[in-house]
A and B are shown apart, each in its own frame.
Chain A
Amino acid sequence: MKPAGTDRPCGGCGVGTLRPTNVAGMVMGHRDDPRVRIREDLILPVCGVCGDMALNRENTGALDDALERSYRRKRLRQQRALINDLRRAGLTQVQIERFATLSPGYVSKLRKGKLASGATFRLLYLLRAFPREALRVVSRLDPELAEAGSKLDSLAGTG
């Protein structure tokens, strides 16, 4: 056997050759995000014709680690921006936590670098996109959120 990572015909297309290639800048799906860009130098065997890759255990681990770093960086930036937008819109930290059924102080942890679960992230995303509608609907389940919805309505009315 030749060592892994040397040039090898591509089994994906049967035409090209897998050659060590720097995949920095490549966009791939990772966890619940379909578009994560690899932001560091990483050499993997890539086919010059179809772009497929054949990964051994080490390659897979290196790709996983690189994607995870990019994913965390992107997701942390996004969740901080979401929370800041919601706070600027007039929602308190407690109201955000009530909306997403998060424990007290959790939003603060998210701002400091804790990664939100996919479900929590999507709830916050929804709340920012449609704050009044989301609060109005969820306040049927949690009447204490009605006050937050009314506040946003009044802010919108004066704005």
Chain B
Amino acid sequence: MPLPLGRSVPGPAVDLAQFQAQVRAGNFHVYVTRALTCIQRLRECRPREAREYARRAVLSLQEGDYAHTVKMPDGQLMDVYGKVIEEDGWYLKIEISMHDGQPGIVSCHPAAHDLATRSGVVRASTRRFQ
């Protein structure tokens, strides 16, 4: 049975500057399936290097890169950003866990679809990553 999808709600839900401060301090978690594994496959790198790549990607985000916010079935809010990294469109999804307040990078991979951000459209990547 397919898992339910999040639905779009007004946002952003996460203060980007505060999130980036936590990330800069190393206080964050990264999800494996849609972040670490995708980066590892693309860069043939190790988990530590993939985590560092995700960290740098999030630190490069600006307010204008914000696309939309999704609400997961359990009520968790996540902000989606689109960013051109190394001439390729990337999809980044971040959260502050409503359960324990921990910052998390849920997704960090080449964009599968065009993303409308505040500063313009980030085109989908043609790279395969899954």
Contact = CB atoms under 8 A, between A and B. Distances in A.
Interface of A: 1-2, 4, 6, 8-9, 11-15, 28-32, 34, 49-57, 59-61, 63-64, 67-68, 118
Contacts of A11: 31, 72, 76, 78, 95, 97, 104, 106
Question: Size class of B's contact patch?
Answer: 35 or more
A56 B48 contact: no
B3 A55 contact: no
A133 to B, nearest CB: 27
Given A31-B45, A56-B28, 8 more contacts: A2-B100, A14-B6, A15-B3, A30-B47, A55-B31, A56-B102, A60-B48, A64-B46
Given A14-B73, A60-B48, A1 B102 contact: yes
19 contacts: A2-B99, A2-B100, A6-B100, A11-B106, A12-B31, A14-B72, A14-B73, A14-B74, A30-B40, A30-B46, A31-B44, A54-B31, A54-B104, A55-B51, A59-B29, A60-B48, A60-B51, A63-B47, A68-B46
Contact of B48 (A32, A53, A54, A64): A64
B46 A55 contact: no
Contacts of A32: 44
B99 A8 contact: yes
B95 to A, nearest CB: 5
A55 B26 CA distance: 12
A13 B32 CA distance: 12
B13 interface: no
Contact of A52 (B32, B98, B99): B32
Interface in B46-97: 46-48, 51, 72-74, 76, 78, 95, 97
Contacts of B100: 1-2, 6, 8
B10 interface: no
Contacts of B95: 11
Contact of B76 (A9, A51, A52, A60): A9
Interface in B1-53: 3-4, 6, 26, 28-34, 36-37, 40-41, 44-48, 51
A52 B72 CA distance: 15
Nearest to B72: A14
* 6 shortest interchain CB distances as A-B pairs: A14-B72, A2-B100, A64-B47, A53-B32, A54-B29, A52-B33
